[in-house]
Structure 1
Amino acid sequence: MNVRKATAAGLVTTYLMLTACTTMQSAPQAVQSTPEKAKNVIMIIGDGMGPQQVGLLLAYAKQAPNSVITDGTTAFDRIAANGRMGISMTHANNNLVVDSAASATQLATGQLAGAEMVGTNKDGNSAESILEKAKKLGKSTGLVSDTRITHATPAGFAAHQSHRSLENEIAVDLLNNNVDVMLSGGLRYWIPESANDEQSAVRQELEVLSEGSVVIKSKRKDNRNLIAEAQQKNYDLAFNRSQMEKADGKILGLFAYSALPNGITEHQTKNDPARTIPTLKEMSEKAINSLSKNDKGFFLMIEAGQIDWAGHYNDTGTMLHEMLRLNETLNHVLDWAEGRDDTLVVVTADHETGGFGFSYSANDLPHGRDLPGNVFKEQQFQPLFNFGDVATLDKLYEQKSSYGDIFYSQFDALEADQQTPASLARIVNAETGFDITEAQAKRVLATEDNPFYTEGHPYLSTKTVPKMNANGAFFAYQTDDNRQNLLAREVAEQQNVVWATGTHTNTPVLVFTQGPGETTLPFGKVLHHTEVGQHAIEALEN
């Protein structure tokens, strides 16, 4: 079974890499003595977006009978047609596989980093990032993410810490780095511990400032109020969409206690006039409009971070919506850049998550059917295996809740005596197009003594965990998260989907670039992420 999973994921990867290589071979090979320059650099990172995840979006756009992308053309088609495509290895120093912090650091600094480091080279020294270099050149700078502004990817561009978990310290670094526009979630690391007291003055002040849009709860262990410090640094504050639209100059927008809503929820609420949380596209639009006022140019990093989370949980329907969210955002960036000769756009991923792939199977073998062609006059067309129905793509799109919401918001909200396999099956069958039986739900809810128990470990210290059976070591985010991976296994045959892991793989990722002159030329080959970072830094116009 493991070989089949690896093979399925590998087929998707190989096909897309061959496509990339074809594009690269056709690119002009002129040697540039002096690197071309760009006034603006926009780097867009799909966290967890390997070739397989791009392939999911392309399959949906071009094959789904009722695709919302009516002409079948994605933003990736656009940038590939007008720019250049290469591939990049992602590994950290002396590791086969990378995490988001090290990978973002390598993209930001052009230097090798160690696992889980932030803004630090392999030797443990602070490494100057492209954002910091842009600031020295007098350019404006920005960070946008649909996760938390202190999360691993944005942190890699404007913080310097020994570990990605130090989000309280990362928030201080971001503020001290004077990033001009920061739009994301993660308010909890910016407000003092005293804000947890409902009667405190700071709590009441924050509730007024935020207009009740964000949960006021702190994860700081001190009484440092970074919101007040941001005001002293002349930041316009925004805690909801309306405030963001009015904000000007330097902007700090924190729109959620932790992460912003997932792609399914964003899609469902997008047209709600009462919606307070901006979309990834809206945040990106605001950032570009604000930063582009600087005549010297700007650097902006945009992260679609929840592709990775859907991959960790093996949630294909949610991952499709995350890719659609990125597609919408990238389309807007390309629209803005169209006709300009001063902006380099770099689109890549920090790594692939999950080892995802569509695969053919021995389940639900196809029936024979007649074909009009002369070769089939004497026999029916009947493939030996189930190669997957394109209607599956529509069913994935129609998923109503992420797997996380199915468990945390619905199943776990039931009274304890109602948290039964029958209840889980009912919820899953109502929220997805892939029904499970009570027996399957029972397998999802089965538990065991933790075979990887490690006292004090942030992810491995729970003594009783979901029963993973095969490959449990690769589903390392234990506690109840693994119920989502177990649900994915139960619907896999219906979806023609396989997942190899609940963590990252070392699959090389695609690099799409579009920009003036020959600024894209260095990106059109096999690279490592340190080289992607170096080329982006070299493209900054002096």
Structure 2
Amino acid sequence: MIDVYVSDTAHQTHRTRRLRHVKDYNPEDDSEFWINKAQSVLSAKLARKAITGPAKNVIMFLGDGFSIPTLAAARAYLGQSQGAPGEETELSFEEFPNTGLSKTYCVDSQVADSACSATAYLSGVKANIGTAGVTGRVKVDDCAAMRNTSNQVSSILKWSQDAGKSTGVVTTTRITHASPSGTYAHIANRDWENDAEVRNSGQDPDICDDIAEQLVNRIPGKNIKVSICRYEEYIIL
């Protein structure tokens, strides 16, 4: 037999923090609490009628770096800021009738960046890391492949415009940044936000249209009705 000693200090700390919220009687201690809660949720889901009519609006909200651990931390923080234990808290969008998960990885990278992941969730096609609005046939800095229209993919924003809908992009970063650029740009390098960056990478900006130029002069960028960004840079002297 092998004896394994595990320090209980951290566990005791966690218990102490949560027990501060527990009153003399805690319904969570009874199995009926959890069974009834589960049955209540299932009954509500089964009783909900499906929406069969066409959607009036579609809003895609992205929290950069959003993951399951991020959601867990947000629940705990929100609940504890309201005087509750925290874990049982539900975020607003968790109350939606339907939810799901998406895999965020690049064709050439397990860990996705904002460019290839934007391409995935906006167009349904996965791309190489550092590229946006193109297929996996476009490698980073490959201007020729980027310009090949067969390697370009359309986003839900373009599909909406084709259906006669008004479209907009609102972001807390630069409008030419990787995440928002996935709605309108086809680019071989997410850093090509302006012609200077294209030139700095050894490419010709007259041939390789940068992200800003695509926003202003190309479809679907130039047909966007609302384009808002709130970006601030702080310089510490």
TM range (shorter): 0.5 to 0.7
Please report how far the alpha carbon of residue 184 of structure 1 lies from its aligned counterpart in structure 2 after TM superposition.
0.5
SS in 2 for 1:144: strand
Cα-to-partner distance string for 1:66-121 (whole Å, 9 max, x where unaligned): 79xxx9997x6332223222222111114211110000011111112111111111
RMSD: 3.1
1:55 equivalent in alignment to 2:69: no
Kept in 1, the 8 Å contact 2:128–2:136? The answer is yes
Letter aligned with residue 173 of structure 1 = Q
Task: Give yes or no for contact 1:91–1:97 (8 Å, CA) kept in 2.
Answer: yes
- Any stretches of 5+ residues in structure 2 without a counterpart? 1-37, 139-150, 195-209
| Structure 2 residue 116 is matched with structure 1 residue 99 | no
Matched, 1:146 2:187: no
| Secondary structure of residue in 2 paired with 1:164 | coil
Give the alignment partner of residue 43 of structure 1, picking from 34, 57, 60. Answer: 60
Aligned with 1:135: secondary structure? helix
Identity %: 33
Q: 1:37 and 1:65, CA in 2 relative to 1: closer, same or farther beyond 3 A?
A: closer
Q: 1:72 and 1:59, CA in 2 relative to 1: closer, same or farther beyond 3 A?
A: closer
Partner of 1:384: none
- How far residue 130 of structure 1 moved from its aligned partner, in angstroms, is 0.6
Match for residue 260 of structure 1 among 208, 232, 235: 232
In 1: Cα distance, 2:215 partner to 2:55 partner: 25
Equivalent residues, number: 160
SS in 2 for 1:55: helix
Tell me, in whole angstroms, the C-alpha distance in 1 between the residues paired with 2:179 and 2:115: 6
Does 1:166 find its partner at 2:183?
A: no
CA deviation vs aligned residue, 1:479-508 (integer Å, no higher than 9, x gap): xxxxxxxxxxxxxxxxxxxxxxxxxxxxxx
* Match of residue 134 from structure 2: 120
Check the 8 A contact 1:99/1:115 in 2, yes or no.
yes
Alignment of 1:369-384 (within 5 A): none
The secondary structure found in structure 2 opposite 1:44 is: coil
Structure 1: tracts of 5 or more residues without a match: 1-21, 186-258, 262-404, 414-542
Deviations 1:201-234 (A, max 9, x none): xxxxxxxxxxxxxxxxxxxxxxxxxxxxxxxxxx
Alpha-carbon distance between aligned partners in 2 of 1:82 and 1:59, rounded to the nearest angstrom: 19
Query: TM-score scaled by structure 1?
Result: 0.27
Decide whether the 8 Å contact of 2:132 with 2:185 is kept in 1: yes
Pair 1:183-2:224 in alignment: no
Structure (1 or 2) with the greater strand fraction: 1
Residues 1:171 and 1:73: Cα distance change in structure 2 (over 3 Å): farther
- Identify which of structures 1 and 2 has the higher relative contact order when contacts are C-alpha pairs closer than 8 Å and 6+ apart: 1
> Is the contact made by 1:93 and 1:114 (CA closer than 8 Å) also made in structure 2?
yes
CA 36–65 in structure 1, closer or farther in 2 if over 3 Å, else same: closer
1:132 matches 2:158: yes
